[in-house]
Amino acid sequence: MQETTNQYPVGFYFSIAFDDLEQCFFQEVSGLSNEMNVEEVVSGGENRFKYRIPTVSTSKNLVLKRGMFPKTSSLLKWCEDTLEGGWSALIQTKTVKIHLLNEGGTVMMKWIFHGAYPVKYAVSDLKSQENELLIETLELAYTYFQIETL
Protein backbone atom coordinates (compact mmCIF):
# COMPACT_ATOMS: atom_id res chain seq x y z
CA MET A 1 0.00 0.00 0.00
CA GLN A 2 1.33 3.44 -0.96
CA GLU A 3 1.67 6.09 1.74
CA THR A 4 -0.15 9.36 0.99
CA THR A 5 0.92 12.76 2.22
CA ASN A 6 -1.45 15.08 3.99
CA GLN A 7 -3.02 17.33 1.34
CA TYR A 8 -4.67 19.59 3.89
CA PRO A 9 -2.68 22.76 4.57
CA VAL A 10 -1.59 23.75 8.05
CA GLY A 11 -1.86 27.32 9.28
CA PHE A 12 1.51 27.62 11.00
CA TYR A 13 3.91 27.44 8.05
CA PHE A 14 3.81 30.71 6.11
CA SER A 15 5.99 33.56 4.94
CA ILE A 16 5.35 37.24 4.28
CA ALA A 17 7.04 39.45 1.69
CA PHE A 18 6.80 43.23 1.23
CA ASP A 19 7.72 44.96 -2.07
CA ASP A 20 11.17 46.35 -1.36
CA LEU A 21 11.64 45.69 2.35
CA GLU A 22 13.80 43.13 4.12
CA GLN A 23 12.41 39.65 4.71
CA CYS A 24 9.89 39.80 7.54
CA PHE A 25 8.82 37.05 9.91
CA PHE A 26 5.58 37.14 11.85
CA GLN A 27 4.00 34.75 14.31
CA GLU A 28 0.38 35.55 13.46
CA VAL A 29 -1.64 36.86 10.52
CA SER A 30 -5.33 37.73 10.70
CA GLY A 31 -7.84 39.65 8.63
CA LEU A 32 -7.79 37.37 5.58
CA SER A 33 -11.42 37.98 4.74
CA ASN A 34 -13.69 39.58 2.20
CA GLU A 35 -17.46 39.87 2.42
CA MET A 36 -20.29 41.21 0.30
CA ASN A 37 -22.54 43.77 1.95
CA VAL A 38 -26.24 43.71 1.19
CA GLU A 39 -28.93 46.34 1.28
CA GLU A 40 -32.42 45.32 2.35
CA VAL A 41 -35.20 46.79 0.24
CA VAL A 42 -38.89 46.61 1.10
CA SER A 43 -41.19 46.26 -1.86
CA GLY A 44 -44.55 48.03 -1.66
CA GLY A 45 -47.41 45.57 -1.16
CA GLU A 46 -45.12 42.60 -0.41
CA ASN A 47 -44.94 42.23 3.38
CA ARG A 48 -43.61 38.66 3.65
CA PHE A 49 -39.97 39.41 2.93
CA LYS A 50 -37.36 42.02 2.03
CA TYR A 51 -35.21 41.91 -1.07
CA ARG A 52 -31.51 41.61 -0.24
CA ILE A 53 -29.49 43.37 -2.93
CA PRO A 54 -25.68 43.03 -3.05
CA THR A 55 -23.79 46.31 -2.77
CA VAL A 56 -20.03 46.52 -2.28
CA SER A 57 -17.55 44.03 -0.89
CA THR A 58 -15.51 44.99 2.16
CA SER A 59 -12.38 43.61 3.75
CA LYS A 60 -10.95 43.82 7.23
CA ASN A 61 -7.50 45.26 7.82
CA LEU A 62 -4.60 42.84 7.59
CA VAL A 63 -3.14 42.34 11.09
CA LEU A 64 0.42 41.05 11.54
CA LYS A 65 1.93 40.15 14.93
CA ARG A 66 5.44 39.21 15.93
CA GLY A 67 8.14 39.64 18.51
CA MET A 68 9.46 43.20 18.53
CA PHE A 69 11.67 43.86 15.50
CA PRO A 70 14.83 45.96 15.67
CA LYS A 71 14.73 49.76 15.39
CA THR A 72 16.84 49.61 12.21
CA SER A 73 14.13 47.68 10.36
CA SER A 74 13.01 49.18 7.03
CA LEU A 75 9.52 47.88 7.86
CA LEU A 76 9.46 49.96 11.04
CA LYS A 77 10.80 52.98 9.13
CA TRP A 78 7.97 52.62 6.59
CA CYS A 79 5.45 52.47 9.47
CA GLU A 80 6.92 55.55 11.14
CA ASP A 81 7.01 57.53 7.88
CA THR A 82 3.38 56.67 7.13
CA LEU A 83 1.89 57.05 10.60
CA GLU A 84 3.83 60.18 11.61
CA GLY A 85 3.88 61.84 8.19
CA GLY A 86 0.47 63.43 8.59
CA TRP A 87 -1.04 65.00 5.50
CA SER A 88 2.24 66.53 4.37
CA ALA A 89 3.83 63.26 3.24
CA LEU A 90 2.71 61.03 0.41
CA ILE A 91 1.76 57.55 1.65
CA GLN A 92 3.98 54.88 0.11
CA THR A 93 1.89 51.79 -0.53
CA LYS A 94 3.34 48.29 -0.84
CA THR A 95 2.27 44.97 -2.24
CA VAL A 96 2.20 42.40 0.55
CA LYS A 97 2.33 38.69 -0.26
CA ILE A 98 1.45 35.99 2.22
CA HIS A 99 2.58 32.52 1.17
CA LEU A 100 1.12 29.38 2.71
CA LEU A 101 3.82 26.69 2.60
CA ASN A 102 3.67 22.90 2.60
CA GLU A 103 5.93 20.63 4.65
CA GLY A 104 8.72 20.97 2.04
CA GLY A 105 8.61 24.79 2.09
CA THR A 106 6.93 25.02 -1.33
CA VAL A 107 4.25 27.69 -1.79
CA MET A 108 0.78 26.09 -1.87
CA MET A 109 -1.32 29.25 -1.84
CA LYS A 110 -0.78 33.01 -2.01
CA TRP A 111 -2.71 36.03 -0.84
CA ILE A 112 -1.59 39.23 -2.56
CA PHE A 113 -2.62 42.53 -0.95
CA HIS A 114 -2.39 45.53 -3.29
CA GLY A 115 -1.93 49.14 -2.18
CA ALA A 116 -1.21 48.24 1.46
CA TYR A 117 -0.13 50.83 4.01
CA PRO A 118 0.08 50.89 7.82
CA VAL A 119 -2.84 52.36 9.74
CA LYS A 120 -1.91 51.18 13.22
CA TYR A 121 1.18 50.15 15.12
CA ALA A 122 0.95 48.81 18.67
CA VAL A 123 3.15 47.10 21.24
CA SER A 124 1.83 44.71 23.88
CA ASP A 125 1.52 45.91 27.46
CA LEU A 126 4.62 46.07 29.62
CA LYS A 127 4.06 44.00 32.78
CA SER A 128 6.70 43.56 35.45
CA GLN A 129 4.94 40.49 36.90
CA GLU A 130 5.03 38.46 33.67
CA ASN A 131 7.84 36.99 31.63
CA GLU A 132 6.43 37.28 28.10
CA LEU A 133 7.87 38.27 24.77
CA LEU A 134 7.07 41.84 23.74
CA ILE A 135 4.70 41.63 20.74
CA GLU A 136 4.40 44.24 18.00
CA THR A 137 1.18 44.48 16.04
CA LEU A 138 1.07 46.06 12.61
CA GLU A 139 -2.30 46.74 11.01
CA LEU A 140 -2.46 47.41 7.28
CA ALA A 141 -5.25 48.81 5.14
CA TYR A 142 -5.24 47.83 1.47
CA THR A 143 -7.18 48.41 -1.73
CA TYR A 144 -7.97 44.79 -2.59
CA PHE A 145 -6.51 41.31 -2.39
CA GLN A 146 -6.40 38.32 -4.66
CA ILE A 147 -5.91 34.64 -3.95
CA GLU A 148 -3.70 32.35 -6.00
CA THR A 149 -3.61 28.61 -5.56
CA LEU A 150 -0.64 26.79 -7.01
Q: Which residues pair with 52 in a beta bridge?
A: 40
Amino acid sitting at position 149: T
Q: What SS3 state is found at 16?
A: strand
Q: Confirm whether 98 is domain-assigned.
A: yes
Q: How is residue 105 annotated by DSSP? A: S
Q: Which domain does 93 fall in, by range?
A: 14-34+60-149
Q: Which residues of 49-61 are buried (b: 16+ CB within 10 A; e: fewer)?
A: eeeeeeeeeebeb
Q: How confident is the model at residue 25, as a pLDDT? A: 85
At residue 86, the pLDDT reads: 76
**Residue from 6, 5, 15, 20 nearest 106 by CA:** 15
- Please measure the distance between the N-terminal and C-terminal CA atoms of the chain and give it in whole angstroms: 28
Answer whether residue 130 is part of any domain. Answer: yes
50 lies in some domain: no
CATH of the domain at 66: 2.30.110.20
Residues of the chain where predicted confidence (pLDDT) is lower than 50: 1-4
State the pLDDT at residue 30.
95
Please report the pLDDT score of residue 122 as a whole number.
94
With respect to residue 49, please indicate whether it lies within any of the assigned structural domains.
no
pLDDT of residue 6: 57
Q: Does residue 9 lie within any of the structural domains?
A: no
Q: How far is CA 1 from CA 4, 14, in A?
A: 9, 32
